[in-house]
Amino acid sequence: MDPQDPWAEEIERRARAVWTEAAIEQLTEGKDLPILPSTAPVLLRALGLLHRDASMPPPQVRKFLQLNHMIRLLRPPLLELMGRFDHLHLVDAGCGLSYLTLALAWCFREVYRHPATLVGVERDPTRVEACRATTARAGLGSMLDFEAAAIGDFVPSEPVHAVLSLHACDTATDQAIALGVRHGAELIAVAPCCQAELARGWAKLAATVDGPLQPIWSTPHLRREAAATITDTMRTLLLRAAGYEVRVVEFVPSQHTPKNTLIRAMRRGGPDREARRAYEALCEATGGVGIGLAAAL
Ligand SMILES: C[S@@+](CC[C@H](N)C(=O)[O-])C[C@H]1O[C@@H](n2cnc3c(N)ncnc32)[C@H](O)[C@@H]1O
């Protein structure tokens, strides 16, 4: 849909009335956020984060803040890439309803003013259809494409500068990391969720192996929590082993989502054998199970 059509004009008009400076100040708590209802009403309405009357109800506020915090954290590495490449190609792996894909596309056009194209990869074809409709409503069709595929099967038709993945389920995060490493992506940024692979391995050990970690392996909640942290640590080590400089940060306060870890990796050099050895040692120390990503890389 053309952003200048009556639908877009109407939401812009309503947003001007609702989103005064004071209302923005209250929403953002004075933080400098890249995407605001006053500057991006059409995008936010297309994403369903603004109501028809341009208001933003509390559940949508959480998603809105999550997106903004994620984009703020991605800004420094993206600025670095913009300085190095005239046109950026990004992949959003497990894009779901494409909040991040569209928000980033909007930022490239309206904030960074740098040529970029983005592909959202999503295995659920009905979601892909919904993404295409949202993209058209937001007027971002020229920058975005979507593919209904599993991340592991996705074959990019362009070079891949960055692979992003926000809350792709379980090992889908590993598929996103493997995709980035395989295609030499300069930036890989993933916010993992439901890390279950290692927990499944530990559950099997609980029945057969004794050892100091047995109380964790045999207690489902502790096992899930510990496995999530160790899984992300293993991912970090494997990324370092593959030549990436890695930072792990909390991208949003835990009241917005408990799955608030962002692993941000920039390609810097050749393989790091020490990091691979550290992965093997961690694997050994925690029952010898490890994660499938180690074999995939
Ligand atoms: C929790 S949602 C997150 C969606 C989106 N990234 C967001 O943050 O709003 C996870 C999405 O990843 C998709 N997904 C999970 N595993 C996948 C895989 N292996 N390949 C492609 N998509 C996958 C699911 O269908 C779902 O839409």
Does a structural domain hold residue 241? yes
What range defines the domain where residue 276 resides?
195-297
Query: Measured between alpha carbons, how far is 241 from 12 in angstroms, rounded to an integer?
Result: 48
Which atom of ligand 1 is the closest one to the Cα of 99? 9
Confidence (pLDDT) at 194: 86
Instruction: Quote the ligand 1 centre to 195 CA distance (angstroms).
Output: 13
Query: Measured between alpha carbons, how far is 122 from 59 in angstroms, rounded to an integer?
Result: 23
Q: What is the pLDDT of residues 155-187, one digit of tens each?
A: 999 999 999 999 998 899 999 999 999 999 999
Does a structural domain hold residue 168? no
- Ligand 1 within 6 A of 120 CB? no
Q: What is the pLDDT of residues 226-252, one digit of tens each?
A: 999 999 999 999 999 999 999 999 877
For residue 256, pLDDT over 80 is answered with: no
Does a structural domain hold residue 224? yes
Does a structural domain hold residue 230? yes
For residue 191, pLDDT over 90 is answered with: yes
Does a structural domain hold residue 260? yes
Phi, psi of 289 (to 5 degrees): -85, -55
Does a structural domain hold residue 205? yes
Instruction: Quote the ligand 1 centre to 153 CA distance (angstroms).
Output: 14
For residue 257, pLDDT over 90 is answered with: no
For residue 63, pLDDT over 80 is answered with: yes
Per-residue pLDDT band at 4 (split at 50, 70, 90):
low
Does a structural domain hold residue 119? no
Q: pLDDT > 70: what percent of the chain?
A: 98
Instruction: Quote the ligand 1 centre to 165 CA distance (angstroms).
Output: 8
Does a structural domain hold residue 6? no
Q: Tokens 């740098």 correspond to what residue?
A: 114
Within 8 A by CB and 6+ apart from 24, the residues are 36, 37, 38
Whether 157 and 71 have beta carbons less than 8 Å apart is answered as: no
Whether 144 and 102 have beta carbons less than 8 Å apart is answered as: yes
Please give the model's pTM, rounded to 2 decimal places: 0.93
The CA–CA distances, whole Å, from 176 to 64, 170, 189 equal 23, 11, 9
**How many folded domains does the chain comprise?**
1
Within 8 A by CB and 6+ apart from 273, the residues are 241
| Nearest C-alpha neighbor of 185 from the set 266, 120, 249 | 266
- Ligand 1 within 6 A of 125 CB? no
Whether 115 and 88 have beta carbons less than 8 Å apart is answered as: yes
For residue 272, pLDDT over 60 is answered with: yes
Confidence (pLDDT) at 2: 53
DSSP 205-216: HHHH--STTHHH
CA nearest ligand 1 atom 18, residue? 150
